Structures are given as C-alpha cells and as structure tokens.
C-alpha cells in the first residue's frame, strides 16, 4: 500500500517539493485529512484553522523554494507565541489570548517558508498538570508532558515536525511515551524570545519528529548550524558510555532490559562501549533541578499566582508555593553545586562521544498524570543536548525510549551518533 503524503518525513517531503513531485498544498491537505480523522480521539491540537493552513501552503507553492523547510507543515506548542493564532499556555487564564507578535522561532520558520499548521496542546504553563491529549498508541494512556500535543501529533502522522519546550523532561518524556524522536538542544541554541517562561536557566526549545534527520533539519535551520547527514553516515563508529544514572532503581524491569539490550546491539555493531559511573554528587541532581526550577517558577508566574490564583490547578499552586519557600541562598547553593557537576561531566566527555541512558522510567502511565520526569531532570540541568529514540516496547506493547546525550554545544556530534544508533536499532 502506498504511503500518504502525511506519512512522509520532513526530509523526504522537502526533497519531493524541491523536485516538483509534491506541492505544499497536497502535503498540508494530507496532514489535515489525518487530523480530521484522528483528532476527536487523540486531541493533540489547541487551535487549528484548515483554511488558513491551506492558504499558507498555496502561497508557498507560488514562491521559489526558500530553504529545506519550504512548504513543510510544523506544529507549534501552545506556550510559544503566534501573532495570527491564539496562544493559551495551557491555562484558562489565557483562553483566547492573542499575542501581538510571533516568537522568534516562529518568525524564523515563516521566513524559511515553513507552514505553521496550528498550535499543539501544552499542559498548564508547560508543567505537569495534564491537559486533554491522549497517547495515540493507546487512548487510555498519557502522551507525557508537557509537549503532549506535539508528541502525539507527530506520532500519529498529523504533522512531520513540531516544536516543544523542555524545563525538566518535557520533550524527551512525551517523545519516549509516543514512540518518536524528541530532541532537546544545548541550552540556548534556539532563541527563546516569545515563549512563556517558567525557568529562565532551564527552558529550552526542542523538536519532535519521526527521525533524527528530521529533527536535525529543523534545529539546524533555526540555529544556523551546518550539518551534513551524508558525512555522518561515513563517520567512525561512536564511543558510547552507558550511564544507568543514580536513579536506575526507578526504571522498571522492561526499561532496564531495553537499555542493556540496546548497549549490546551497539557493541556488536562496532561501537566502543564503556560504563559511566557518576560521582556521588550527581545523586542530588534531581533535587537541585527541582529547587532551581521551583525558585524560578514562583517568580516567572507572579502575575498568575497574584491575579488569578483560582484559575491555577491545585498541583501547580502547590509547586508555586513550594518555590516561594526556596531562599535565595539555597538557590545560589544549588546553582553552585550544578556548576561543579557541569565541570565534571565536561571533562568526562574526553573519554567518549555519547552517553546512553533511559528516557523515562518505562511505558506511558494512565491519563491521570503525565509520568515522572526522573530521567530528564539531570541532563536538562546540565544543559546538555539530548535526544530520545524509540527502543523497543514494554510489557503492554507500548514504546520505550533510549536517551542519547552529547557534550554541551556539540549538537552535530549528537546528530552523527544518533543517526548511527537509529540505524542499528532499526535492524
């Protein structure tokens, strides 16, 4: 059976558009057909206007190709501002809110010729309180948070690319639960102007896609980074450190087995494998992330907690209140401890190219919560580029994810290694 245009990846679709085999209108129309079919069940979208999306695609078809993203539909997480679409930040406080300007990343996408197809559902202010989206693999399970709509939409072939954000594990976890690629770049690589800030020292714009190459395509275009996928295929096999992390007991048996099995497969394929044992100070990393993010949440959401406390969920209100109890001295001590860990891990990368670790504790849990961010907190706090790849399935046949991590600022190295790992895991 032939594939529909909506099933194409971004790199494939871009090649077809450049060659004249596919129009942006046909691609967008195919995505909209998929959305119309599946959205009543999956509920991945906070806002979408099919007529507007088709009009944008037709405009792209009348123009010369501007970039490799020309004519490609992209979903935008609903904490990222759009000047012609409402941005509700996942909260009733901002129901119908219309920003005056696009976020920098959205403006860049338009400049590159991408089609902004709509706004994907976010949890409340990109925190842990669930929203309406369901996991497309099983509608009774969570898609994860907070980039829930972006992960579900990409996984269900509603759109080839979507933007997400990550403060703790908000790209990595939903991608793992939905069985897609989730990529959190090095901190600050994609400009954050125009997003709803939660934690200024942690918030990072990321990408949801179905392949490593697609994620790299979007990120490199936004960041102005050069990366040659053909050269990556010819590069040497990576040196990989297996890191169980201090939180290994919190991974279920299926996730532990998936990591060990993946490591064996990569070793058999020629990778140089080693074990990374982290010093004792790394056991505090998750607590440090929570202290730093809570302190920053309390201040970033000052307007909402002061003016609209009754419209905040009980869970977010509790997190905000906890942040108000973190003193400045405790916050600065947490930053200092984090800095020591960043220095250690930077030096450790001299011995390997990549780290592999769990992406989440296991399969997606039930809809009542978005899952635990346990295996994303530390790497986000370290400001390292991270990417999750589908890595088998758990006891109820739902996806598991393998997290791949590179040194800070070495995102092209992450693409190179992750492409190779992706190829081995697909065999």
Residues annotated as catalytic are 77, 146, 170
Distance CA 109, CA 182 (A): 19
DSSP 312-368: S-HHHHHHHHHHHTS-HHHHHHHHHHHHHHHHHHHHHGGG-SEEEEESSSSS--BTT
Classified as helix, coil or strand, 16 is: helix
How big is the CA angle at 129 (ends 128 and 135), to the nearest 5 degrees?
A: 85
Distance CA 4, CA 197 (A): 37
Distance CA 122, CA 133 (A): 9
How big is the CA angle at 294 (ends 292 and 296), to the nearest 5 degrees?
A: 70
Distance CA 337, CA 187 (A): 18
Strand pairing report for 399-405 and 386-393: antiparallel
Phi/psi at 372 (nearest 5 deg)? -90, 135
Distance CA 55, CA 409 (A): 38
Residue with tokens 């492409």: 419
Burial grade of 91 (CB within 10 A; 0-12, 13-18, 19 or more): buried
Phi/psi at 292 (nearest 5 deg)? -65, -45
Pick the closest to residue 109 from 221, 261, 200 (CA basis).
Answer: 221
**Any residues with CB less than 8 A from the CB of 103 and at least 6 apart, and which?**
80, 81, 82, 192, 193, 194, 195
Number of H helices, E strands in the chain: 15, 11
**β-bridge mates for residue 402, sequence order:** 358, 389
Q: Which one-letter DSSP state was computed for residue 27?
A: H
Distance CA 261, CA 269 (A): 12
Secondary structure E strands in 200-314 = 204-209, 239-242, 272-275
Residue with tokens 């829930």: 148
427: tokens are: 């065999």
């Amino acid at each position: 059976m032939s594939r529909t245009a909506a099933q194409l990846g971004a790199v494939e679709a871009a090649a077809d558009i450049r060659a004249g085999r596919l129009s942006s209108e046909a691609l967008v129309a195919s995505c909209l057909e998929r959305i119309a079919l599946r959205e009543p069940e999956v509920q991945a979208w906070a806002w979408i206007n099919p007529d507007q999306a088709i009009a944008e695609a037709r405009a792209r078809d009348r123009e010369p190709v501007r970039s490799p993203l020309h004519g490609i539909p992209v979903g935008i997480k609903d904490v990222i501002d759009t000047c012609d679409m409402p941005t509700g930040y996942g909260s009733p406080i901002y129901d119908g809110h219309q920003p005056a300007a696009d976020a920098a990343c959205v403006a860049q996408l338009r400049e590159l010729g991408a089609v902004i197809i709509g706004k994907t559902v976010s949890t409340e202010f990109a925190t842990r309180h669930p929203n309406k989206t369901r996991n497309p693999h099983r509608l009774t399970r969570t898609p994860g948070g907070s980039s829930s709509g972006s992960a579900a939409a990409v996984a269900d072939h509603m759109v080839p690319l979507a933007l997400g954000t990550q403060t703790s594990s908000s790209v990595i976890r939903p991608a793992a639960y939905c069985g897609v690629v989730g990529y959190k770049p090095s901190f600050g690589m994609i400009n954050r102007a125009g997003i709803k800030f939660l934690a200024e020292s942690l918030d990072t714009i990321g990408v949801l896609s179905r392949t490593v190459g697609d994620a790299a395509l979007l990120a490199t275009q936004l960041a102005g980074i050069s990366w040659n996928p053909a050269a990556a295929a010819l590069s040497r096999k990576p040196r990989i450190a297996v890191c169980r992390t201090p939180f290994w007991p919190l991974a279920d048996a299926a996730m532990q087995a998936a990591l060990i099995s993946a490591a064996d497969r990569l070793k058999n394929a020629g990778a140089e494998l080693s074990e990374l044992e982290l010093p004792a100070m790394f056991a505090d990393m998750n607590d440090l992330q929570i202290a730093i993010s809570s302190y920053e949440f309390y201040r970033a959401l000052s307007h909402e907690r002061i003016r609209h406390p009754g419209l905040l969920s009980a869970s977010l209100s509790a997190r905000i209140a906890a942040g108000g109890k973190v003193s400045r001295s405790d916050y600065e001590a947490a930053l200092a401890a984090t800095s020591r860990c960043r220095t250690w891990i930077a030096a450790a990368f001299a011995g390997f190219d990549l780290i592999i670790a769990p992406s989440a504790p296991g399969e997606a849990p039930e809809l009542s919560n978005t899952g635990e961010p346990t295996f994303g907190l530390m790497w986000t706090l370290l400001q390292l580029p991270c990417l999750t790849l589908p890595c088998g399935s758990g006891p109820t046949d739902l996806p598991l994810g393998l997290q791949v991590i590179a040194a800070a600022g070495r995102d092209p190295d992450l693409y190179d290694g992750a492409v190779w790992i992706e190829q081995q895991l697909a065999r």
